[in-house]
Amino acid sequence: MFVLLDLEWVEERGLRYPTQLAARRVDAHWVTVASFDTLIRPHLPECSQWDHMAYRGYMPEDFRAALEEETCIRQFCQWLMKSDILCCWHRGTVETLSSCYKRIMKKKFPFHWMGINNAVYVQSQEDGIEARGLYALAKEYGLVVPDVEHKSSHDVFTMQSLLQHLNFDPKAAKRTLQLSKKLMLPGERQEHNKKVIEKAGYEYIYAPGSGIFHRRGCKLALQAKTICGCRRYATAAKNRRPCKRCRPEPPAKAEHKAIVPSLGAPAKQKKPGGETVAVKLLGGEWASVSKGKIIGFCHSSLHPGKMTVKMMKAHDCINKACWYFEKYADAPYWQQLEAHKEKKRKDKEKLRLQKAKDAAEEGRMEELRRLFQEYVDKAGYRMQIVRVHQQKPQIFKVFYVSDNAFADGNRFGLFLRNVKSSYPGYRVILRHIQDMEKRFVTIEEFMHRRR
């Protein structure tokens, strides 16, 4: 079934934190079968800007009493079924939900999804309607829409009403929608896998984690979501059995001529791509490998031999702390790895210092805002300072609201003179706050939105 989804969120320092989540499971005619609606408590309630549109439709007390983000996301994922396809107005909704899921669950978002705005716009243009936006489009079609926008439950209701009115067919519009790769039809997946096999030159294929390998044209294997493969039969047969349907067989002749080592030191071969040596790799196989790719040696009696980066990762030697593994410390790989770790550590420290600096600057601006508000109150003005922003070392922008619904910054001369007398070097620029429709906000409107 399809699940209509809407999510509201606030963005802080590059991370998105959801505040509202609403969803409706619908049938083929877009009629509600089940619903899910929840508020999400902000991670820092004391620092939340309650006038933000992500908090519309509710009081701050409602969000403070709501469940935490992790609990809400887990409950929603338990409510979803494996066969559900999430339908959102734009892909930012699912991207936010996916990032939260990955941050909480430590794995990728597993559900299918599609964005429907582009397909709906195509259908509306055929009807001669050029409006953009969910609510604007619904009003053009003459539908009754809720008064409060950017409230998740209202957005889902409006989306459902619009799709019912248009008699929207998601299957017919599927190829024009923003679909995830997991929604490929079986035939499309087979063609995609054939292109992957042809490009990689695989002779034998298998699915990740599978204990069976196939011929490159086996229909069973071509239905897999992900295809892996190799060119040599011996590699494919390692820890896997042949498919009983396509019955892959080794070629009549040897796939590669074995490199016979000399009794002395391994013979070095000069090639244009760099120095290569004949070495005995893990499992006893001799091969010609670039010298810089050899990073260690396995002393296990089961499969002794030298190892490359790919072999080490396949056997997970580092995470297992395998004592049979000997690291060649002079290999370029380990030097690059240490350099990468050092860079990552420095970046992390730089980010920590930047966060501390931003927090200190935010506290300083809040203290300055309170001081300026005291000057305003002493002057007897009906003016509420919302925030202060330092544009340059001695230049400050003061964002405020007043009783007047127009730019009235020239009416607060006494306040500016008081600031000038206390801080001669400061230059204060007054900016009356405007809403999204470019209307100047009054104190009454501002306090109403905060509530």
List pLDDT tens digits, range 129-143. Answer: 888 888 889 998 899
What is the average pLDDT score of the chain? 83
Whether residue 166 sits in one domain with residue 49: yes
Position 48 scores a pLDDT of: 65
Position 432 scores a pLDDT of: 93
Whether residue 150 sits in one domain with residue 9: yes
Whether residue 66 sits in one domain with residue 196: no
**Residue 422 belongs to domain spanning:** 355-450
Whether residue 210 sits in one domain with residue 100: no
Q: How far apart are CA 25 and CA 80, in angstroms?
A: 9
Position 269 scores a pLDDT of: 47
Tens of pLDDT, residue by residue over 197-234, are 888 788 999 888 788 999 999 988 888 877 888 888 88
Position 16 scores a pLDDT of: 82
Whether residue 398 sits in one domain with residue 292: no
233 domain-assigned: yes
Residue 425: CATH number of its domain: 3.30.300
105 domain-assigned: yes
Strand order across the 383-392 sheet: 383-392, 395-402, 427-432
HEC profile for 336-397? HHHHHHHHHHHHHHHHHHHHHHHHHHHHHHHHHHHHHHHHHHHHCCCEEEEEEEEEECCEEE
333 domain-assigned: no
132 domain-assigned: yes
Strand order across the 325-327 sheet: 305-308, 294-298, 325-327
- Of 350, 423, 436, 351, the C-alpha closest to 390 is 423
Position 25 scores a pLDDT of: 93
201 domain-assigned: yes
Q: Report residue 256's pLDDT band, with 50, 70 and 90 as the boundaries.
A: very low
Is pLDDT of 51 > 80? no
Is pLDDT of 188 > 90? no
Tens of pLDDT, residue by residue over 152-180, are 899 999 999 999 998 887 665 454 444 44
84 domain-assigned: yes
Residue 125: CATH number of its domain: 3.30.420.10
78 domain-assigned: yes
Position 57 scores a pLDDT of: 82
Range of weakest confidence among 53-62, 86-95, 261-270, 314-323: 261-270
Tens of pLDDT, residue by residue over 79-133, are 999 888 899 988 888 888 988 898 888 888 888 888 888 888 878 888 888 888 8
Give percent of the chain with pLDDT exceeding 70: 89
The residue from 139, 161, 180 where one domain ends is 180
Whether residue 29 sits in one domain with residue 119: yes
348 domain-assigned: no
Position 273 scores a pLDDT of: 43
* Mean pLDDT value of segment 10-22: 83
Is pLDDT of 292 > 90? no
Position 365 scores a pLDDT of: 93
Whether residue 165 sits in one domain with residue 26: yes
Whether residue 276 sits in one domain with residue 383: no
The residue from 180, 199, 232 where one domain ends is 180
Task: Compute the Cα dihedral for 86, 92, 93, 94 and give only its sign.
Answer: positive
Whether residue 136 sits in one domain with residue 189: no
Is pLDDT of 354 > 50? yes
Whether residue 209 sits in one domain with residue 174: no
* Mean pLDDT value of segment 401-406: 91
Position 401 scores a pLDDT of: 94
Give the global pTM: 0.42
Q: Report residue 186's pLDDT band, with 50, 70 and 90 as the boundaries.
A: low
Whether residue 199 sits in one domain with residue 167: no
Q: Report residue 319's pLDDT band, with 50, 70 and 90 as the boundaries.
A: confident
Range of weakest confidence among 140-149, 183-192, 238-247, 287-296: 183-192
Whether residue 161 sits in one domain with residue 39: yes
* Mean pLDDT value of segment 380-408: 91
Q: How many domains does the chain have?
A: 4
Position 270 scores a pLDDT of: 45
Q: How far apart are CA 124 and CA 139, in angstroms?
A: 12
